[in-house]
């Protein structure tokens, strides 16, 4: 059973997520000299990123030893505000003393399939002979049950060995590059951030083990922990929460 924490509102959830980031980064650097963080896109984590860029948290994080990766990216032109990289840079990354060489964005050119292959190669180079174990993986939850860009019915859901894949919504004019469940499940700590009443039904379905499973149900860390941070609106009437934070 995953650990679930329910917060009064998105602000309280964001503060908890930012504090968790700071604690995890410091512990990872103290333990093995660096911290590999996988960022989520979308609007839910923006406030947590903003808090990490400001006092007092920013000064507690060993930024020069932090490496930043992304769980997925929309294949849109550089600088497009819909890109996850752009949001993360604006809210956090351009405001803290990160080593530019430690930023690992997904470059969606010249083509999505080549970008996915290139990102997998970059990940394999980073982890080398070590297990591909991110210290912290931040994830969101879509109203359709997707996480990262593991979309419902995508072939990527069946990945076994691949670390990256290309997905696409029929109604969208662009493709996406996403990490796959087998790689995400290597995380030391995977954290879902879920806010809003429009996610309540989906959250309930995921946590109750709906069949057939939704993409988010594929995230079950093999040798790590799974944590859900949700606000009261997203929790709805679901009663099996571990505790409610103020």
Higher pLDDT residue, 202 or 241? Answer: 202
In the predicted model, what is the mean pLDDT of the chain?
95
| Alpha-carbon separation of residue 163 from 33, 71, 118, 182 (angstroms) | 24, 11, 11, 7
User: What's the token pair of residue 167?
Assistant: 């997905």
Which sequence spans correspond to the domains of the chain? 29-245
pLDDT of 246 strictly over 50: no
pLDDT digits (tens, 9 = 90+) for 67-92: 999 999 999 999 999 999 999 999 99
> Which are the contacts of 224, defined by CB distance < 8 A and separation ≥ 6?
133, 185, 186, 187, 188, 189, 190
What's the CATH number of domain 29-245, 3.40.50.1360, 3.40.50.2000, 3.40.50.720, 3.40.720.10?
A: 3.40.50.1360
- Short-list 228, 225, 224, CA closest to 216: 228
Which residues, at least 6 apart from 217, have a Cβ–Cβ distance to it below 8 Å? 145, 206, 209, 210
Question: Hey, how many other C-beta atoms are within 10 angstroms of the C-beta on 172?
Answer: 12
The pLDDT of residue 32: 97
Distance separating alpha carbons of residues 81 and 76, to the nearest angstrom: 9
Q: End-to-end distance of the chain based on CA atoms, in angstroms? A: 23
Coil, helix or strand for 147? strand
The two three-digit tokens of residue 21, written as one number: 């980031």
Strand partners, 190: 137, 226
Taking the model in full, what pTM does it have?
0.95
Element (H, E) at 244: strand 243-245
Average pLDDT of the residues in 192-196 = 98
- Residue 178 has φ and ψ, to the nearest 5°, of -135, 150
> Tens digit of pLDDT for each residue in 102-159?
999 999 888 999 999 999 999 999 999 999 999 999 999 999 999 999 999 999 999 9
The more confidently predicted of residues 1 and 226 is 226
26: three-class secondary structure by DSSP: helix
Instruction: Determine whether 204 is exposed, middle or buried from the number of CB atoms within 10 Å of its CB (0-12, 13-18, 19+).
Output: middle
Closest CA to 131 of 179, 187, 65: 187
Burial of 170 (0-12, 13-18, 19+ CB in 10 A): exposed
pLDDT digits (tens, 9 = 90+) for 24-50: 999 999 999 999 999 999 999 999 999
More confident residue, 5 or 237: 5
pLDDT above 70 as % of the chain: 96
């Amino acid at each position: 059973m995953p650990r679930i924490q329910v917060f009064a509102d998105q602000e309280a959830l964001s503060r908890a997520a930012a504090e968790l980031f700071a604690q995890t980064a410091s512990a990872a650097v103290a333990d093995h000299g660096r911290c590999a963080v996988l960022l989520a896109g979308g609007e839910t984590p923006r406030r947590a990123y903003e808090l990490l860029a400001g006092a007092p948290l920013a000064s507690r994080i060993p930024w020069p030893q932090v490496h930043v990766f992304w769980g997925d990216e929309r294949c849109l032109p550089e600088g497009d505000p819909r890109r996850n990289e752009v949001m993360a840079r604006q809210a956090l990354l351009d405001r803290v003393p990160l080593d530019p060489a430690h930023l690992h964005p997904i470059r969606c050119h010249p083509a999505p399939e080549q970008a996915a292959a290139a990102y997998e190669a970059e990940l394999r180079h980073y982890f080398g002979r070590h297990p591909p174990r991110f210290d912290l993986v931040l994830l969101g939850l879509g109203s359709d049950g997707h996480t990262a860009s593991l979309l419902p019915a995508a072939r990527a859901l069946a990945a076994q060995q691949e670390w990256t894949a290309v997905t696409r919504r029929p109604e969208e004019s662009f493709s996406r590059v996403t990490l796959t469940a087998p790689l995400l499940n290597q995380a030391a700590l995977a954290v879902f951030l879920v806010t809003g009443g429009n996610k309540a039904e989906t959250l309930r379905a995921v946590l109750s083990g709906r069949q057939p499973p939704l993409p988010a149900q594929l995230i079950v860390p093999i040798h790590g922990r799974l944590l859900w941070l949700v606000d009261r609106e997203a929790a709805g009437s679901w009663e099996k929460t571990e505790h409610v934070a103020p």
